[in-house]
Chains A and B, each alone.
Chain A
Amino acid sequence: MHSEHVTVIADRSHERDSAPQTTMRVTKRNGTTEPVDLNKIVRAVSRCCTGLRDVDAMRVATKTISGLYDGATTSELDRLSIQTAASLLTEEPQYGKLAARLLATYLDKEVHNQEIHSFTQSIATGHRLGLVNERLAHTVATNARKLNDTIDPARDRELEYFGLRTLHDRYLLKHPQTRLAIETPQQFFLRIACALTETIGDAIELYHLMSTLEYLPSSPTLFNAGTSHEQLSSCFLLDSPADHLESIYQRYTDVALLSKFSGGIGLAYHRVRSRGSLIESTNGHSNGIVPWLKTLDASVSAVNQGGKRKGAACVYLEPWHADVEAFLELRDNTGDEASRTHNLNLANWIPDLFMRRVEANGAWSLFDPKRVPHLPDLWGEAFDRAYEEAEAAGLAAKAIPARDLYARMMRTLAQTGNGWMTFKDASNRACNQTAVAGRTVHLSNLCTEIIEVTSADEAAVCNLGSINLGRHVAGDAFDFAKLARTVRTAIRQLDRVIDLNYYPIPATQRSNLAWRPVGLGVMGLQDVFFQLGWAFDAPEARALSARIAEEVYFHALTASVELAAEKGAHPAFAETRAARGELQFDAWGVAPADPARWDALRARIREVGLRNSLMIAIAPTATIASIAGCYECIEPQVSNLMKRETLSGDFIIINRYLVDALKRLGLWTEHTRTRLLRAEGSVQSLVELPEDLRARFRTAWEVPMRSLIDMAAERGAFIDQSQSLNLFVESPNIGALSSMYFYAWRRGLKTTYYLRSRPATRIAKTTAEIPAAAAVACSLENPESCEACQ
């Protein structure tokens, strides 16, 4: 049935024919040259092949030589052999493992060649170069033997090629001049662990969690822990500047300082007057917020995060602001460039009243904030009342049908993926920090998972970390006991960051010490389902997803109570809902699974307090999931075969669970691979696959969005901040989108994140061979691979 008339990438016979070339020479480190020795390369590759049954060292070696030029350096040869192995991983995922091992060997050499042979030597070198701070250098020096013994080089084998490359290119400390790494991946993990803990015992425990990829702190923490600038927080939330020049310009400075040290920024603009508003001092008229945002756009792209990644910010605007229509066009790729901001992300901060007007197909009034300065600080019924009074008083700048504005929001989402729908009332209603009147959540953050109050002199901050759920499965069941242990260690680490942190602007320190919020999230939910053999939206998967959320919340609260008993509750505890015994699920009207245990915890919270006002936030985990080699946060896989585009280059990711399943069925063939490639990584056209497998290996484009929203809502009852929920619609239209986001609001979600869609035309496939002319005829056996029918 499988006539192999199509091949992916390359056929083997050719490579064997074209290599080895005996005339080629390589240049050694000392400048001398020698002939390329195929056997030497084969031996070097073979040393890394232990346990990898399906890789062919000879093939990697010959293919490497075929890509070489005469006079290349040995270092180029090494790097080329790594890339060559990596390029074969779509054919056989074990080549990815091989590439990772070759890379690990290469990295060890890089570090050893600088006379760094132990953890303490690495830290001492970093300290001498001014990269590692005094505190860490001292801790490590005084516990040298114990720490050096902790390093387990075999843990390198936990890392996939992509993860290791990411670590090497962007996370390992580099010599300022030579740019060579001065630490191995294991030394890196132990450095972070030592920097984030108070005792050696805790450090070793955290090292084990990280090096086994069971838990990872967020990127800013991994970038900066133990260094001379310990800015460890991921997220900053700034309330809108006040409606005057000094305040507007002060914000640019705030944003620049926060960006410089790796923070992602959310900031609101709903207090700044709209276009046409009178400026008394000059008797002129304002140009509204767009020119300010244009300046912000330039400012954000000017500051890069220590060369590690680009600065990034998201602007929040409430939809009653009279500039909202221009705001929704900021990311369009046509029109006046003076009104376009290609680097800013945009989010709508939507009160329930707007959604009710959409539902009723009513009118919606737009206001100049100068005339309704109180609206940003109100939510719920108070907002509804104030808004309607302002309408009645004739203060509106203009009124439009609510559905027209809603349609524009949907269009922006479809065309740019931006203009995220986030809900002001749901966010405030269920926030632990809004118990006292006058405290308001004014916006979410860059990734829509942080929900914290802000004010003129309080900027919210959050430190994040994520548990790799994929590493919490034991046999055919989820390991809740292990999860509980991981949560405890993670919360203690996140809490520690609050005290260690370097605060680039004073308003952040003030708020962080009062509220001590942290954001513990998860990643690899899809891995759990693959391991347990469940479809993403299967009833048992949905139940487990909610149960995991409940357990994480329970153990996070428990750990925070424990910390409060040791170190005291956070200063603002008395002003929280938790102090009154109200927990997140109460706001959602959801009853937890085991009420007795929750009642006991509630009593304990009232008695001892909590060390942290907020604990759970599900971040997108884009980069740390790459390091951990798992699927991102709570998301279904985007494709069974895809690439990741990163600053380190592009990487192919193949679903290894699918490959295993296909191998068991004897279906992992060139023919299957080609069809998978042609189908953009979808298995739905692989008709020979049993139906349950096709359901299990659906992609995010194929899982119903309704189920993602339902799962988010079920999980949401145990998330005291929020979650970065991407939604996926292949070819969006206004009708489907408006229904989808309406449903998300209805289900009580606080926030949604990107709308992902796909391009209308695709790049021609260069690696999927077109069948030979003779084969272009309809084949009833394999209709899906036959182009004649398409």
Chain B
Amino acid sequence: MSGEVATAMFAGGSGPSASARPARLLDPGMCLTLRPMAYPRFFEMYRAAIKNTWTVEEVDFGTDLADLAKMTPAERHLVQRLVAFFATGDSIVANNLVLNLYRHVNAPEARMYLSRQLYEEALHVQFYLTLLDTYVPDHAERQRAFAAVENIPSIKQKADFCQRWIDSICGLERLDTAAQRRQFLLNLICFAACIEGLFFFGAFAYVYFLRSKGLLHGLAGGTNWVFRDESAHMAFAFEVVATIRAEEPELFDDGLERDVRAMLAEAIECEAQFAADLLAGGVAGLSIGDVRSYLAYCADQRLATLGMAKQYGAANPFGFLALQDVQEVTNFFERRVSAYQVGVEGEVTLDAAF
């Protein structure tokens, strides 16, 4: 423990210190002071995340292999590419979290959330690892699948996009100037809006397409949980953006908006070329044109969340996505029920309201 930290902790140090509560979220430091809590919303998000704990062991892959066998070659190609992307996607997000986000978001309750998110990203990696091991029994082929970032161009292009944004602020030790903070914001928005909010949303759409046809329950079931987690991650990141905007509205200037729009446009192109590869064999119900509309629609949603005018005016062509927007009622004979919480509290009483 550094001397500075020790001072703040034990001597209740006066004046600004690296460990005391900063005035603003992005002010440099490693704040350790949870009370009074500056951002209770982050803490609530952390608690909600804990309640949704799941494990890979709960996912039932029982029927997936049989499904794979009866799918068309075009559909199997889609699945293999998709899983290859997933296998690396969450690791990339985890890397950015560790290298960039954790360092600069200076509130212990926010860092608690990020720690939880980091665990969830690892869990997702474990899930897709298990999935690939199950789907690809041949060891050499399996190795190739895990090396997708290197040798599958459509995946490499997406990985390069992510890596470029990770690198963009990796050298930043502190966020002192407005320019540095805008750089940080772009990184944060990139991971929330482009990577989680576009790349993952794109990938989830394919999974839900298959799911709507009753295929690959293991993949769909696990992805359902992954999606639930990713939705929370995105919500957290946007909450951080909103917090920064409230604290430092001047950061959100025209230049930032221009950069965000350019970034989203590039992300759409990245994802569209991935779609062209995924759907190369032709899959009825998933045309490349429809995927493009869907991505543009997602991008508009992200812009709206960021308080920016929508750009594409596209509609969501995928009716099957409505399926994941509504409550599930699982017939337990057929699927495991996923809608339960952990961390239940309280004591036995016999006259409480119910």
Binding site for B on A (CB under 8 A): 7-11, 14-15, 18, 63, 66-72, 76-77, 79-80, 83-84, 86-88, 90, 169, 264, 301, 304, 309-310, 312, 333-334, 337, 340, 342, 345, 358-359, 403, 406-407, 410-411, 414-417, 622-623, 638-639, 641-652, 677, 680-681, 704-706, 729, 731-740, 742-743, 754, 756-774, 776
Contacts and interface: CB of A to CB of B under 8 A. Distances in A.
Contacts of B328: 642-645
Nearest to A644: B329
B331 A643 contact: no
A757 B327 contact: no
18 contacts: A67-B285, A68-B287, A83-B320, A334-B53, A342-B58, A639-B327, A646-B334, A647-B335, A650-B323, A732-B341, A734-B345, A735-B346, A735-B348, A736-B352, A759-B341, A769-B297, A769-B304, A773-B304
A736 B340 CA distance: 16
Given A10-B317, A739-B354, A773 B307 contact: yes
B344 A414 contact: yes
A742 B353 CA distance: 12
Rank and list the top 8 A-B pairs by shortest CB-CB distance, nearest first: A87-B319, A649-B214, A760-B51, A734-B346, A69-B282, A764-B231, A733-B346, A76-B284
B315 A764 contact: no
Contacts of B301: 769-770
Contacts of A704: 354
Contacts of A90: 322
A358 B349 CA distance: 10
Given A10-B317, A90-B322, A739-B354, A646 B304 contact: no
A87 B320 contact: yes
Contact of B341 (A8, A69, A731, A738): A731
A732 to B, nearest CB: 6
Contact of A14 (B317, B335, B344): B317
A776 B230 CA distance: 24
A71 B282 contact: yes
Nearest to B286: A67
Given A333-B53, A763-B324, A773 B309 contact: yes
Interface string B224-244: 100110111011000000000
B347 interface: yes
Contacts of A644: 328-329, 331
Interface of B: 48-49, 51-55, 57-58, 60, 62-63, 201, 205, 211-215, 217, 224, 227-228, 230-232, 234-235, 279, 282-287, 289-290, 293, 297-298, 301, 303-305, 307-310, 314-317, 319-342, 344-354
A77 B282 CA distance: 12
Contacts of A762: 228, 231
B235 to A, nearest CB: 7
Contacts of A69: 279, 282-284, 286-287
Contact of A738 (B55, B217, B293, B348): B348
B354 A652 contact: no
Nearest to B63: A647
Pick from B57, B309, B316, B326 the residue with the most CB of A within 10 Å: B326
Contact of B48 (A333, A411, A733, A760): A760
A312 B333 contact: yes
Contacts of A764: 227, 230-231, 234-235
A768 B231 CA distance: 14
A185 B230 CA distance: 42
A416 B285 CA distance: 36
Nearest to A24: B287
A68 B287 CA distance: 6
B287 A406 contact: no
A787 to B, nearest CB: 9
Contacts of B58: 333, 342
B170 to A, nearest CB: 28
Nearest to B235: A764
A359 B214 CA distance: 47
A773 B310 CA distance: 7
A67 B290 contact: yes
Nearest to A304: B62
Contacts of A739: 349-354
Nearest to A413: B344
A643 B283 contact: no
A759 B340 contact: yes
A403 B347 CA distance: 9
Q: Is the interface of B mostly helix, strand, loop or mixed?
A: loop
Contact of B293 (A14, A639, A677): A14
A79 B284 contact: yes
Nearest to B56: A333
Nearest to A405: B348
A730 to B, nearest CB: 10
A408 B320 CA distance: 40
Given A66-B287, A759-B338, 11 more contacts: A66-B289, A67-B284, A67-B290, A87-B319, A340-B57, A643-B329, A645-B331, A650-B211, A650-B214, A757-B341, A776-B304
A647 B344 CA distance: 31
A631 to B, nearest CB: 11
B283 A766 contact: no
A71 B281 CA distance: 10
A768 to B, nearest CB: 7
Nearest to A307: B66
Nearest to B228: A763
Contacts of A647: 63, 214, 217, 334-335
B310 A772 contact: yes
A415 B334 contact: no
Contacts of B308: 773
A472 B282 CA distance: 48
Given A623-B333, A648-B214, A333 B62 contact: no
Contacts of A649: 211-215
B309 A772 contact: yes
Contacts of B49: 760-761
Contacts of A729: 354
A764 B224 CA distance: 11
A70 B288 CA distance: 11
B334 A309 contact: yes
B348 A309 contact: no
A759 B214 contact: no
Given A15-B317, A647-B214, A772 B52 contact: no
Contacts of A733: 344-346
Contact of B326 (A77, A643, A758): A643
B300 to A, nearest CB: 8
A384 to B, nearest CB: 20
Nearest to A704: B354
Given A681-B327, A773-B309, A83 B285 contact: yes
B340 A415 contact: yes
Given A643-B326, A757-B340, A735 B317 contact: no
A647 B213 CA distance: 9
A415 B310 contact: no
Contacts of A758: 327, 339, 341
B314 A768 contact: no
A763 B325 contact: yes
A301 B60 CA distance: 10
Nearest to B302: A770
Nearest to A729: B354
B212 A680 contact: no
Contacts of B48: 760-761
B113 to A, nearest CB: 12
Given A66-B317, A738-B350, A80 B304 contact: no
B350 A359 contact: yes
Nearest to B330: A645
A10 B316 CA distance: 5
Contacts of B224: 763
Nearest to B322: A767
A680 B327 contact: yes
B214 A358 contact: no
Given A67-B317, A623-B333, A763-B324, A735 B287 contact: no
Contacts of A642: 326-329
